[in-house]
Amino acid sequence: MQYGYFDDANREYVITNPQTPWPWINYLGTEDFFSLISNTAGGYSFYKDAKFRRITRYRYNNVPMDSGGKYFYINEDGTVWSPGWKPCKTPLDSYECRHGMNYTKIKGSKNGLEAEVLYFVPLKTKAEVQLLTLRNTSSTVKTFKVFSFVEWCLWNAAADMENFQRNFSTGEVEVQGSVVYHKTEYKERRDHYAYYSVNAPIAGFETDRETFFGLYNGFDEPQTVLEGQTRNSVAHGWSPVASHCLELELQAGESKSFVFVLGYVENPQDQKWESKNIINKKPALEVIDKFDTIEKVIDSFNELKAYWDKLLSVYTVDSGNEKLDRMVNIWNQYQCMITFCFSRSASFFESGIGRGMGFRDSNQDLIGFVHQIPERARERIIDIASTQFQDGGCYHQYQPLTKKGNNEIGQGFNDDPLWLIIGTTSYIKESGDFSILEEPVPFDNEPGTEKSLFHHLTVSFDHVIHHLGPHGLPLIGRADWNDCLNLNCFSNDPNESFQTTENKTAGSKAESLMIAGQFVLYGREYAELCLRLGKKEEAERALKEVSKMTEAVIKHGWDGEWFLRAYDFDGNKIGSNENEEGKIFIESNGWCAMAGIGLEAGMVGKAMDAVNEKLDSEHGIVLNNPAFTKYYIEYGEISSYPPGYKENAGIFCHNNPWIMIGETIQGRGDRAWEYYRKISPAYTEAHSELHKVEPYVYAQMIAGKDAFRPGEAKNSWLTGTAAWNYYAITQYILGIKPDYDGLIVNPCIPADWKGFTVNRKFRGANYEIRISNPDGRMSGVRKLTLDGILLEGNHIPCQPNGDHLVLVEL
């Protein structure tokens, strides 16, 4: 069953039934001010950091689900309703939510009155704008009241949920004209406040939550709204909110619009106050002025649209398959921008208070994002590298506001350093900017410790060879990509964190075949970079290590039909036919295949066949098989999950693309495509009721074949799935790959595809690349012409600015 449809022309997903199987959300803002908004207007806003600068409050995992948001209430003759259905849940005569590129439009109607709210964060603005339009579609005059609503968060979203003995006494607001200012803690060390305004005179307001709702009422029946009467409360402590009341009259057919601005201000220390205890409102009023007419709002909305037109024009495909085009041209790229902005911090599955930016996560996000805004990728790479230690190890996560490493989680995930290599080379290949390698970058953000970014890559590479186990394979540390394979943890205590507890390390023989494959692939990448820089000796040194690792994998990492996953603390095999459960894993097979280890000897082919036979399922490729049915203390968190969920044999959509790419390495386009299609949101939309989460973006996990409900997805939006699927489809299946000095064309497609066209903007030039497949092949470029000239091979050297036509025959 579907709950809406794709409107590709407008780049929107249109939800027509508010009761989606889970809140279906969208993100507003891509720079500093961010909001999450669900299809029923639930969600919250923050400035830069979802933990430290939370602007509005949200209640996670509540009953009912999705409580708290940017709500509007309408009271017409005692009938109280909301345009997004929630929170009132009054049955509507019509409902529609359009999630677009960084904006959401929610429209509802009741008894001949229509209310539409456009929510967006204008470019370069520290505020969310809400354009509310009310239309009288009836034939009689209508008089009614409209109430806005937001609930302030006391800034630190973690403390906001726990320290009530303090919190209930700190809240402070000011109200001036039609603006409510939230200034809790501004008197002390904070230099920031928030505000909520409307561009019209108001009939009243509320800033005290209990006065607005009544102590025993929910979001669905605020006392003020039900009574149609504000008390103009001014919050002192307790829970500050902001609600405006507008009294309106609309003639038949008439409509009126209002602009609400929810903003954030930082004032310099010496300009904090206007007078004693009165905050300096100038910066807020300037923003409010910028959006005080409908025209201004529409202009800035159009700017946002133009911005997205440009972002999405860098890579477009015309394949004749609308589902594929929709993913590549719109939604997958959009999700890549969102993961770039948020890493794994704030979604409806990530509370925004736990994780900041992940070292490996953010590097991976770059491979799907870098073509959109290379300059921002550059900045991100420097930020990430600055959280590295001198020996190449690195903080697993860092906080976006401070950019400092998270001490709670610390370091010791031995795959982390290698991701910096792919993040950086992806950037250089896209931009051609080698100067980033000379950028001085500190260690652990310690001034004075700066070394070139290139040096950071060297220590990343070396970190692996300084941490080898008894088979010459990489020691896993706390975990590799699979955070839940904790081979040194040995936890018997439910109060311990699998991620940070290492009850045994000395003498550990726990080695990872996933890191081994990754090292071979990115080690080669590093060596190639060295060669481009004229560092021949370093390249040779790297390649020597790469071949040692390749040999170690062939010798100690092959199980006969597939690659082993790891060796445990005591040196026992994991992911072997000898194991009772967890005989085969996706990660090591994906990585060793992508690295082409044993390709000629047929190992890659065999491994991919084993994956197909043992891990593939109706809804995608599961992580391991058989699923663990009991807790293995020597494996850690992975075996703590019920079978079929998360890292225990769930379909981790993040690593399905590793297998897609592994298949393309040996030219099997049909299988690569089949895997792509299975987990692609445009395809899973058809069974939204089962899939549950948004049909326009990837989820991290779909319950696997051993689960209670296979096919049910969780953890949508913030997942490396976005970048990896984008990377796999655009660079390996459609096969247009940026390289240091041009584009490589190497499609690997199902034999029955007749062809497709990709338009790629690359370093100032536009390439129209038309692929034709007259003989029904899956791969192999037979002929390539550039602007009418036949080229050898499949490499298009960088061309002068302007349009270029590339004709390719498979």
Q: Considering beta carbons, is residue 11 or 344 the nearer one to ligand BGC?
A: 344
Report which of 134, 107, 131, 135 is spatially closest to residue 120, judged by C-alpha positions: 131
| DSSP 8-state assignment for residue 615 | T
User: With respect to ligand BGC, which residue has the nearer C-beta, 352 or 358?
Assistant: 358
CB 113, min distance to ligand BGC, A: 44
Nearest to 140 by CA among 251, 255, 254, 247: 251
CB of 609 to ligand BGC, least distance (A): 25
Helix (H, G, I), strand (E, B) or coil at 715: strand
User: In whole angstroms, how close is the CB of 350 to ligand BGC at the nearest point?
Assistant: 9
Please, what sign has the CA dihedral across residues 469, 475, 478, 480? negative
For ligand BGC, the binding residues in 21-80 under the rule CB under 6 A are none
d(CA 281, CA 290) in angstroms, rounded, equals 15
Q: Is 416 one of the binding residues for ligand BGC (CB under 6 A)? A: no
739 is catalytic: no
| Of 483, 685, 706, 712, the one binding ligand BGC by CB under 6 A | 483
Nearer to ligand BGC, 85 or 481 (CB): 481
Q: Which stretch binds ligand BGC (CB under 6 A): 170-178, 199-207, 314-322, 482-490?
A: 482-490
In degrees and rounded to multiples of 5, residue 506 shows phi and psi of: -55, 130
**How far apart, in whole angstroms, are the C-alpha atoms of residue 679 and residue 725?**
9
Asked if 481 interacts with ligand BGC (CB under 6 A), we say yes
Asked if residue 358 binds ligand BGC (CB under 6 A), the reply is yes
The answer to whether the CB of 578 falls within 8 A of the CB of 670 is no
Report helix, strand or coil for 88. Answer: coil
Whether the CB-CB separation of 642 and 712 falls below 8 Å is answered with no
Residue-by-residue DSSP string for 249-302: EE-TT-EEEEEEEEEEEE--GGGSEEETTEE--HHHHHHHHHTSSHHHHHHHHH
**What residues form DSSP beta bridges with 241?**
151
CB of 676 to ligand BGC, least distance (A): 20
Single out the residue of 484, 603, 649, 778 in contact with ligand BGC (rule: CB under 6 A).
484
Total of residues contacting ligand BGC (CB under 6 A): 9
- Nearest approach, Cβ of residue 358 and ligand BGC (Å): 5
Give the range of 25-33, 246-254, 476-484, 800-808 binding ligand BGC by CB under 6 A: 476-484
Residue 142 CB, nearest distance to ligand BGC (Å)?
50
Cβ proximity to ligand BGC: between 181 and 340 the closer is 340
Look up residue 574 and give its two tokens. 């994991």
Examine residue 350 and tell whether it contacts ligand BGC (CB under 6 A): no
Of the residues 98, 145, 344, 371, which one makes contact with ligand BGC according to CB under 6 A: 344
- Stretch of 317-325, 329-337, 475-483, 486-494 contacting ligand BGC, by CB under 6 A: 475-483
Residues 632-691, interacting with ligand BGC (CB under 6 A): 647
Nearer to ligand BGC, 308 or 481 (CB): 481
Residue nearest to ligand BGC (CB): 483
Instruction: Report d(CA 138, CA 570) in Å as an integer.
Output: 76
* CA 676 vs CA 129, 709, 749: distances in Å: 37, 21, 11
473, 567 contact by CB (below 8 A)? yes
CB of 482 to ligand BGC, least distance (A): 5
Among 45, 75, 335, 482, the residue binding ligand BGC under the rule CB under 6 A is 482
Q: Phi first, then psi: give them for residue 395, nearest 5 degrees.
A: -60, 140
Nearer to ligand BGC, 441 or 485 (CB): 485
Q: Which stretch binds ligand BGC (CB under 6 A): 480-488, 521-529, 675-683, 703-711?
A: 480-488
Catalytic residue, from 483, 559, 568, 616: name it. 483
Cis, peptide link before residue 681, omega less than 30° from 0: no
Distance CA 272, CA 187 (A): 9
Q: How far is the CB of 360 from ligand BGC (least distance, A)?
A: 5
Of the pair 359, 673, the CB lying nearest ligand BGC is at 359
Shortest approach of ligand BGC to residue 343 CB, angstroms? 8
Q: Is 587 in the site for ligand BGC (CB under 6 A)?
A: no
List the one residue from 105, 135, 360, 471 that touches ligand BGC (CB under 6 A). Answer: 360
Q: Does 347 bind ligand BGC (CB under 6 A)?
A: no
Which residue, 486 or 617, has its beta carbon nearer to ligand BGC? 486
According to DSSP, the β-strands at 240-250 and 142-155 are antiparallel
**Per-residue buried b or exposed e for 296-308, using 16+ beta carbons within 10 Å of the residue's own CB:** bbeebbeebbeeb
**Binding of residue 174 to ligand BGC (CB under 6 A):** no
Angle at 770 between CA 767 and CA 774, to 5 degrees: 160
The candidate with the shortest Cα–Cα distance to 368, out of 314, 411, 417, 435, is 314
Between 376 and 714, whose beta carbon lies closer to ligand BGC?
714
Active-site residue list:
483
Q: Could you list the residues that contact ligand BGC (CB under 6 A)?
A: 344, 358, 360-361, 481-484, 647
